[in-house]
Structure 1
């Protein structure tokens, strides 16, 4: 079973399940500044290397609701996944269950809600890849390319502690994966970076999402029940 990625040191505990409106506003502003000042500047190392497009295991529709990617329509089961694009344990979970999840969504058995978070924001060089890649996946969900972009970013996941993909590489990936008009501007402007940060703040302050006293990724919630990545209950639902 993959080890859940956790930040070091862990974020401070709070009594509220969600940040206050003022705190969220400050977080969003800071995230936008970081994204604009660091990630958008990118870097020369590997900038000419295209991210390979990994075909999606299955096609399914996506929408975005308050920064959460909703895959598929109403279904008998709802799966909430909390992921960080830089998280090695998330990659392991995607390798283990990604195909089954995509097929279950495409068949209408499961609706998946992807909460993209920036738990490992400081673990890329320069910092900011978790927000940038999360933003790109939300942009892809709005542009009809989420299944392939999501699969591709985990299949070719950057090394934790190394350089993440810059905005030019993320835009190029989405365009080759079939993203519609507006995807490039969405990625370059960091339209959803603040929502990725809020997703994390809400998750880390929700006791229902904590295991052993802290929040980690991937966090898997099936029909309101917190599960381990290899839980047989999840396998049974995905198998139909």
Structure 2
């Protein structure tokens, strides 16, 4: 009987082991299928253009290390601080992009975009934040910033994964209509890298943008106007500015 009990216990262990292996196999297969079905945001393919109705139709000019979008007659200027890799910035654009577009096109506000190289270490390889911010300034030199900005937020690379390559960023510039002979070199050589580094330093030390508890930059996205930080928990922040 003792021998029989031992034999039965061995069979139980074997059956349990087979069951565990089967469960693990199903899990692995499920993960592989999920990864194959998951849409890629950073492949060798080109970056898709954003829908036309997502693109602000207003002048956009590079102003040093920022880009100013809107009509000269607008009396309110909104400063938006973003990073093209920042997922919450993508959420901000999806949430408020339509309202911002309308306010700009109606001539109520101008938006000064501060595209920051903040999350460089969070792409693989590192550096996508600088590459994309620099490319956006290069595009702004040719007046095509709005479509470029919309496209990079419409389909963002995932934080912690590979960002778009310089070649992809160049192709997107051409797809939005950049024709400048120096554009490709501007992207490849990171023409505005030093200016972007200065922008990051200035932003990090701006008292308006610091968290009162930590004393550090609050991060992206941040929005300010008239020297005051905007509370983005207030969903009516933009309409409040234009009353």
Using the alignment, how far apart are the partners of 1:141 and 1:235 within structure 2?
24
Spell out, residue by residue over 1:3-56, the C-alpha distance to the aligned partner (whole angstroms, 9 max, x if none).
Answer: xxxxxxxxxxxxxxxxxxxxxxxxxxxxxxxxxxxxxxxxxx955211111034
Shift of 1:219: 1.0
Q: Which aligned runs of 4 or more in structure 1 are off by greater than 3 angstroms?
A: 237-240
Match of 1:38 in 2: none
Question: What is the alpha-carbon distance in structure 1 between the residues aligned to residue 128 and residue 96 of structure 2?
Answer: 24
| Relative contact order higher in (CA < 8 Å, ≥ 6 apart) | 1
Q: CA deviation at 1:105?
A: 1.6
2:183: which partner in 1? 183
- Does the 8 Å CA contact 2:76/2:242 hold for their aligned counterparts? no
Structure 2 partner of 1:61: 59
Measured in 2, the distance between the counterparts of 1:50 and 1:147 equals: 18
Higher share of residues assigned helix: 2
- Deviation track 1:165-202 (CA, whole Å, cap 9, x = no partner) reads 01100000111111231322221221112222111110
Larger of the two Rg values belongs to structure: 2
The answer for the alignment partner of 1:107 in structure 2 is 106
Aligned residues: 196
Compute the displacement of 1:89 (Å).
Answer: 0.9
Displacement, 1:232?
Answer: 4.2
Relative to the length of structure 2, the TM-score reads: 0.75
Whether the 8 Å contact between 1:118 and 1:197 is mirrored in structure 2 is yes
1:197-212 to structure 2, matched below 5 A, reads: 197-211=197-211, 212=213
Distance 1:208 1:235, change over 3 A: closer
Correspondence for 2:15: none
2:38 is aligned to none
Give the structure 2 partner of residue 21 of structure 1.
none
- Contact 2:109 2:242 (8 Å CA) reproduced: no
Return the offset for 1:101.
1.2
Unaligned runs of 5+ in 2: 1-40
Secondary structure at the counterpart of residue 51 of structure 1: coil
Check whether the contact 2:116–2:130 (CA below 8 A) recurs between aligned residues: yes
Give distance in 1, aligned partners of 2:199 and 2:169: 21
Q: Which deviates more from structure 2 when the two are superposed, residues 190-199 or residues 170-179?
A: 190-199
Query: Once structures 1 and 2 are overlaid, which stretch shifts more, 153-162 or 135-144?
Result: 135-144
Deviation track 1:73-99 (CA, whole Å, cap 9, x = no partner) reads 332111001111111111110011112
Where do 5+ consecutive residues of structure 1 fail to align?
Answer: 1-44
* Cα offset, 1:107, TM superposition: 2.1
Q: Which moved more, 1:56-65 or 1:86-95?
A: 56-65
Contact preservation (8 Å) 1:123, 1:161: yes
Q: Which residue does 2:238 correspond to in 1?
A: 235
Q: How does 1:104-183 map to 2 (within 5 A)?
A: 104-181=103-180, 182-183=182-183
Number of the residue aligned with 2:30 = none
